Every structure is written in structure tokens, then in C-alpha cells.
Amino acid sequence: MNKHLLTMHNITKTFPGNGVKAVDCAELQVGTGEIHSIIGENGAGKSTLMHILAGEIIPDTGNIIISNRNIELSTPSIALKNGIAMLHQHLKLIPELTVLENIILGVEPSTKAGTLNSKDALNKINKLCKEFDIFVDPKKLVKNLTSDKKQITALLSILYHNIKIIILDEPTTFFNEIKADTVHKVIKKLQNMGKSIIIITHKLKEAIEISDSITVMKSGRTIANLNSSETDINHLSSLILDGNSKIKSNKPDIQKGSVLLEFKNITYSQGAVNYLDINFHIKKYETLVVTGIRENGLEILEQILAGNIQKTTGDIIYKNTTTGNKIFSLRKIGAGYIPSDRIKKGTSIKSSITDNIILLKYKFFSKWGIMDSKKINGFVSKLIDEFGIIGSGNQLISTLSGGNIQRVMIAREIDANPELFIFAEPSKGLDILSKQMIYNKINHLKKKGSGILIISSDIDEAIKIADRVLILHNGKEAATLINKNLNRVEIGKIMLGLNK
């Protein structure tokens, strides 16, 4: 038994583009057969740190020591060779292949003749299934599996290799889908076999129940390392939330405006699991911030708003017109929207600032189909000034910093003066100045009469700009509060379900 099977020492990672330190001199120690949880808020750096361990991200500084040897985990396959594998939150399975094919992907066993030796692989998989008391039919196509079987397939893919350290990334779904005692059995078995398990989670209760030790992360730093027997939920939550923060609450505006958007009894479920259950409205002249753990409902809410997924039950009503069963379309109702998936959806990275910024208004600049470059250039210059974008109109987005890219998007959306404005994770990856500018612009828009819906996992942000705050816990609406003298501990506790 090695008490220090794994040591991560002085790990720092700054992402280019926004200059924010995702991980800041982080430290981690895990022993053989240890179950270790890493907890913290969204953006604390937990995922990034584990991605570094799994070989998917290369840190700027620091080293990783496994069994007393300093190892560079520069690719996932090297990490795998060193016995480290990660079960991702969003399963990386190939739907068109069978369970067997997915499991052996990359390590296909061959016969002496060079053909595929599926017999060998099948035997191995069957053995694993027996050992861990889990079952899935290896010949089935993944796309035909129920979601709990998909989780088991993903688990088997990891167990198939000679793994010393398993990383579970936000295994909420994992725990939800597979029966609790099955999961516990698997984890205990792994522990008995001497494997180490690292769990990234924001669920304090489970962290204390399951793990031997806990590391707390905040703003990229590892601020505490405790035995789970030495702590309790309150202690942990105060560490995470840090009641000493000096964020001043916004003075709420309670102007009477008409209701713009209403989400009436909206739920979203997959099979038996309910991921979202929410009820809210947004009026003109107000800012509503929906906050919570990103994976626990915020993500789903955004996807429904964006029209990427369809609600299961409930009614979406815009200005007294219900959308019925049609997919909700923001652009059709003239709403503004900045997605959390900024780069992929919100910009055309190979295009210029101009081409990106005129997306909503290009028709306005064309007469008989031909675009008026003078007018366009004037418009672009105006926005560049107004929103402090550093760059010129024909510069490609790919050459801009992350903060600037955000400014381009915000400029585009806000300039269109939408009645309803939806902004997901506004300050994700932004520096302080940009954050402030964005808040100012949002407030300005609101004062002109728009209704603003912000989806944010950042509690401080909610306090800064909301008129009302809707707090989600486990996808369900836990509280809707007026932002008067709210503090982050209060909100954090509700978010974590600790306000009983």
C-alpha cells in the first residue's frame, strides 16, 4: 500500500486567450486503494486538474509523480499506459459500434494470423462482468442501449485496461443511472483490488459519505486537504463559499413591466430521471439570474432556450403567445442570445470581426441585395469604439483574445436592442474590466426596457447584477429571491441543498 501512489505538485495552467489561471499551484496526493473526492464550485479548477492528470491537457508548471517516478502525461494514451483513466461526464462512446468494439477500441487483440481475436476480448469482458457483478450484452450496438447500460459500457472500457487510478468526472449521472448499491459494490471492489478512485463532485454529502479524503479547490487553488472523518458539510461549504467575500448586493429595480417570457411548469426528463423542473417569468425592465450548479439544470435550461432540445412537459409563453410543441426559437421572436459555448456556436472563428458583428443586421445594410460597405464599416467602427473591442473590422476572430471575442458577441447582440436578452455564463473566462463593462451594458439595456435572463453558475455575479435570483438545486427550483442584501453563503447553501 503506497500512501503516496500519486502526487500532483505545484500544477499551474493558464489558458491562452483569456489569461485566467484555471489551476493555480494546485497540490494533490492520493494513495493506493484510496477514494478521494475533489470538491469546489464551478470554475474552481477541478475538471482542469483532472484533465491534466488524464493526459488531456498539458500543465504550464508542476510535476506528476506516480509510484515515486516523475512522469510526463502528455497524451491520454500515455496516461493510460501509466494506469490512469477517466470516465467522462459526457460518455465518449461510439453509437454505431457494439459494446465490445467500443471497449477494445485502440487495443484490439489480434490472433497470430493478424485477424481480430474477439474471443479473447469477449472472455475478458465476461470475466470483468462477473467480477464486478455488472452486466451488458457485448454484441449490442451502443446506440440501442438504455442509458444505464451505456454507463456500464463506459465503466467496462476503463476496467478492461490495467488501471491503477480511475477518475470519475461529476458522476452524478453515473450514480443516477445505475442502482446505488451496484455503484457502491463496484467502488468497494475496486478499492479492495488496490485501485484508487478520484471523484470530481460538487455533492458535499456524497463526498463525505463515499470518500476517504477530500481536497477542496477554489479559484484554481487547492485550499484544503482533509480526511472525510474530520469534517462535515457545514465545514466544507464554508470553505467553498468563503463567507468573507465583499461582494455588495445590487440595488434591485422593481419597476413594473409586463411579462415577456414565461416558463410554466417546464420539465425535462430522460427516461425516469428528471433533470429540470422549473417555473419562472421575466418581465421588462428586470434582470433575472438563474443560478445553480451548471450540470444540475443550468445546462439543460440553456439548451431548451436555445432550441437545441425540446422540453418534456410544460409551456413556454412569450408575450402571451404559447409556443406549444414547436421548438422554441429565440431568433424568431427577436431575442438576443449569447451561448455559453461561445466559440463554437456564437462566432464564426474564421471570419472577420465585421462578418461576425453584422450577423443580425446584414440585411439592413443591403439595398437590392448588395451590401453597402461604407455603411457597414461605419457601423462596425461605432461598435468597436462603444464596446472597447481591440481590433479592426477585417481582423479574423481567431486572432483575438477571448475577452475581445466576447465583446464582439456582446456588441452584436446588445446593439440589436432585443426586448428579451439571454446571456449564458456572462463572465466565464473574463478579466475584471471586461466583466464590469458587460455588467454595465446589460444594466443599460435593462433600463431601456428589455427583460434580461442570465444563466450563471457564478454566485458573485448573480449578486452583482440580478434583480431577482432563481436558485436551482438538483435541477429543481429551490428558491426565487429578490436580490436585497443577499450574500453568497446563503445562496450557496440553497444551491447545495443545505438550507434545511
Partner 1 sequence: MDHKINDSTLKATLLAMGSALIITIILLIFSSNNPLQSIVFFFTGPFSNTYNFGNMLNKAGLLIFAGLGMSIAFRSGMFNLGGEGQVYAGATAAVLVSINVNFPNRYIGIISAVIIGIISGALIAGFSGWLKKQWNTDELISSFLLSGIIIHFTDYLISGPFKDNSSFLNSTVKIPTILFIKQFLDTSHFNISFFIAVIFTFLAFIFLFKTSMGYEIRLSGLNRKFAEYGGLPINRHLIIPMLISGGMYGAMGSFASMGSYHMGIKGFTQGFGWNGIAVALIAGNNPAFVIPAALIFAYLDAGTQVAMIHSDLSFEFGNLIKAVIFFLITAKKLNLKKEYLYD
Give residues in contact with partner 1 (CB under 8 A): 15-17, 22, 47-48, 51, 56-58, 306, 331-332, 337, 339-340, 343-352, 354-355, 358-360, 362-363, 365-366, 369-371, 373, 394, 396, 428-429
Which CB sits closer to partner 1, 56 or 460?
Answer: 56
**At its nearest, how many Å lie between partner 1 and the CB of residue 48?**
6
Q: How far is CA 206 from the centre of its chain?
A: 20
- Its sign, for the CA torsion 447, 448, 452, 457, is negative
Query: Which of 394, 416, 391 has the alpha carbon at shortest distance from 402?
Result: 391
**At its nearest, how many Å lie between partner 1 and the CB of residue 39?**
19
- How many DSSP H helices and E strands does the chain contain? 16, 22
- Cβ atoms 492, 227 nearer than 8 A: no
**At its nearest, how many Å lie between partner 1 and the CB of residue 369?**
5
Which CB sits closer to partner 1, 307 or 497?
Answer: 307
Strands 259-270 and 313-318: antiparallel
- Its sign, for the CA torsion 72, 77, 82, 87, is positive
Which CB sits closer to partner 1, 22 or 442?
Answer: 22
Q: Which three cell numbers stand for residue 160?
A: 478492461
**At its nearest, how many Å lie between partner 1 and the CB of residue 309?**
15
Which CB sits closer to partner 1, 75 or 123?
Answer: 75
Q: Which three cell numbers stand for residue 229?
A: 472523518
**At its nearest, how many Å lie between partner 1 and the CB of residue 423?**
14
**At its nearest, how many Å lie between partner 1 and the CB of residue 356?**
8
Q: What angle do CA 297, 57, 344 make, to 5 degrees?
A: 50
**At its nearest, how many Å lie between partner 1 and the CB of residue 15?**
7
Which DSSP state fits 211? -
- Cβ atoms 241, 492 nearer than 8 A: yes
Which CB sits closer to partner 1, 346 or 492?
Answer: 346
Give the other-Cβ count within 10 Å of 441's Cβ. 18
DSSP state letters, 128-193: HHHHHT----TTSBGGGS-HHHHHHHHHHHHHTS--SEEEEESTHHHHHHS-HHHHHHHHHHHHHT
**At its nearest, how many Å lie between partner 1 and the CB of residue 396?**
7
Which CB sits closer to partner 1, 192 or 368?
Answer: 368
Q: Which three cell numbers stand for residue 438?
A: 458587460
Does residue 321 sit in helix, strand or coil? strand
Which CB sits closer to partner 1, 99 or 300?
Answer: 300
The secondary element (H helix, E strand) that includes residue 330 is none
**At its nearest, how many Å lie between partner 1 and the CB of residue 392?**
12
Which CB sits closer to partner 1, 45 or 314?
Answer: 45
- Cβ atoms 219, 45 nearer than 8 A: yes
Which CB sits closer to partner 1, 108 or 341?
Answer: 341
